[in-house]
Amino acid sequence: MKASDFYGRRVLINAAHHEELAGVQRLPTMEVGRHYVRCLRCNQLSERRVAALPHQQFYCRHCLQLGRVSTLDQFYHLPEPNQFQPVVPVLTWQGQLSALQARISAEVARGMRAHEHRLLWAVTGAGKTEMIFAGIAAALQRGERVGVASPRVDVCLELFPRFQKAFANIPIALLHGRNPAPYAYRQLTICTTHQLLRFYHAFDNLIVDEVDAFPYASNEALIFATRQAIKPSGGLLLMTATPGPALMQRVRHHELAVSYLPLRYHGCLLPQIRTKLTIGWRERLGKGRLPGTVARQVQDWQASGQRFLFFVPHVADLRPVQVALGKHWPTLSTLTVYAADPKRLEKVSAMREGKVQALITTTIMERGVTFPGIDLGVLGADDPVFSASALVQIAGRVGRSKKRPTGKVIFWVDSISRTVLAAKRQIALMNRKGQKLRHEVSIV
């Protein structure tokens, strides 16, 4: 292994191999107490009896997906040296920010220069990614190491080609559990938040997108990993369209600065949610039939060639919906997708490339992916699996294109639930704020 493989990382290696890695710092993997053991990678506690291995050795069962951490191993580490060669130009993106986006972009860049901790709160489709380009470019020019993390693999895969175009002269690392490529030391890294567990005081500035998304939100191990991945004096930018109570409390306590943008990049408001009652829809679906309100809407989409997302609460609902759609409209091209789908990435690409008219999906498509010009429906939007923030994010898939900034968002429900009402209220609030901001800008 090269020295650069250990820069700003904690590499798990069996302690017996230490003689091959002279000069590399060796750090413990576990703290062993009288009753509990603590993993120093994910910071999670386990009872000694649960974490026990033979011969008074112990392991962590909480982060096994990244390789077993045990007292038989050590972490190998070298401090981040920031040994990067300057390139010109750093930013090769040729796009244009709106006046409002430029204002937020400047705030973010100043915050990254000061290595502050900041929340970027912007509605879905506001152009958060483009608004962070200038701050990242300035950080790279300063010789800093920058990380961009997201809880979802799909988001990382969508961000990576966009960053490759925006920073064409900068080699970029893409790290996620499904990537077979070996690790490479890079000044700019895009990764899932789980991959942050491998880093230690690596990043001068770290950006975490979709911080309210599963599995990051309220996940103590991933939040710990975020703190460990940045240098002690490093900056942190958290981005979301739907901040939860914990984030807002940090803003109120002045632990986070905040930048706020309630308008999309094209200046249009968020599409409003329309709710339609479909009582007993699952029983009808079990008989191969769609509720009339659903069938009429799909008929309109099918006849016009309009592409759409069709959300369902559970994996078990995917196939019945696809069968019912095929029974009614044999020529309608559809695919189903869910989190553990082995062909998930290929199916998302097929939808993005227009090879299918509809993607039937669980909540895995609620955020981080863009299909221009689509409509969508959510069957069973009142199901407890859909949180209010998830419903807002789902609705935010529509109207993201400048060519088609509007679209239909339909929630089919057995009853009007609190979460559905909360999602509608949140979108209405964002639109009121956005309308007010548009008025203020037009006055200026």
pLDDT at 132: 98
Give tens-digit pLDDT for 52-76.
Answer: 999 999 999 999 988 899 999 999 9
Closest CA to 235 of 100, 139, 141: 139
Closest CA to 301 of 314, 313, 290: 290
Which amino acid appears at position 330 of this protein?
Answer: P
Q: Do domains 99-261 and 273-438 have the same CATH topology?
A: yes
Backbone angles phi, psi at 390, to 5 degrees: -65, -40
Q: At 265, is the pLDDT very low, low, confident or very high (cuts 50, 70, 90)?
A: confident
pLDDT at 423: 95
Contact by Cβ (8 Å): 93, 129: no
pLDDT at 309: 98
Q: At 17, is the pLDDT very low, low, confident or very high (cuts 50, 70, 90)?
A: low
Report the percentage of the chain scoring pLDDT > 70.
97
Task: Give the distance, in angstroms, between the CA of residue 13 and the centroid of all CA atoms in the same chain.
Answer: 30
Rounded CA-CA distance 339/205 in Å is 30
Closest CA to 79 of 23, 140, 154: 23
Burial of 333 (0-12, 13-18, 19+ CB in 10 A): middle
Least confident of 46-55, 315-324, 360-369: 360-369
Give tens-digit pLDDT for 414-427.
Answer: 999 999 999 999 99
Give tens-digit pLDDT for 199-230.
Answer: 999 999 999 998 988 788 889 999 999 999 99
The CB density around residue 233, as the number of other CB atoms within 10 Å, is 8
pLDDT at 386: 95
- DSSP assignment of 241-300: SS--HHHHHHHHTTSSEEEEE-S-TTSPPPPPEEEEE-TTHHHHHHTT---HHHHHHHHH
Rounded CA-CA distance 44/119 in Å is 26
pLDDT at 16: 62
CATH number of 99-261: 3.40.50.300
Tell me: pLDDT of 18 over 60. no
pLDDT at 217: 81
Give tens-digit pLDDT for 130-178.
Answer: 999 999 999 999 999 999 999 988 889 989 999 999 999 999 999 998 8
> In DSSP terms, which residues pair with 203 in a beta bridge?
230
Closest CA to 323 of 285, 283, 280, 379: 285
Q: Do strands 57-58 and 52-53 pair parallel, antiparallel, or not at all (unpaired)? A: antiparallel
Tokens 């940090």 belong to residue = 250
pLDDT at 20: 62
Q: At 331, is the pLDDT very low, low, confident or very high (cuts 50, 70, 90)?
A: very high
Q: Do strands 146-150 and 188-192 pair parallel, antiparallel, or not at all (unpaired)? A: parallel
Q: Which CATH superfamily is domain 273-438 in?
A: P-loop containing nucleotide triphosphate hydrolases (3.40.50.300)
Rounded CA-CA distance 241/126 in Å is 9
Q: 370 by DSSP, 3-state: which?
A: coil
Query: Which DSSP category does 312 fall into?
Result: -
pLDDT at 214: 79
Rounded CA-CA distance 208/230 in Å is 11
pLDDT at 369: 81
Q: What is the mean pLDDT of residues 82-107?
A: 93
CA atoms within 13 A on the CB side of 133: 25
Q: At 444, is the pLDDT very low, low, confident or very high (cuts 50, 70, 90)?
A: very low
Rounded CA-CA distance 293/265 in Å is 33
List of residues 6+ apart from 254 with CB closer than 8 A = none
Tell me: pLDDT of 15 over 80. no
Q: At 180, is the pLDDT very low, low, confident or very high (cuts 50, 70, 90)?
A: confident
What dihedral angle (degrees, nearest 10) is formed by the CA atoms of 135, 136, 142, 144?
130
Domain boundaries, the chain: 3-77, 99-261, 273-438
Give tens-digit pLDDT for 231-248.
Answer: 999 999 999 998 888 888
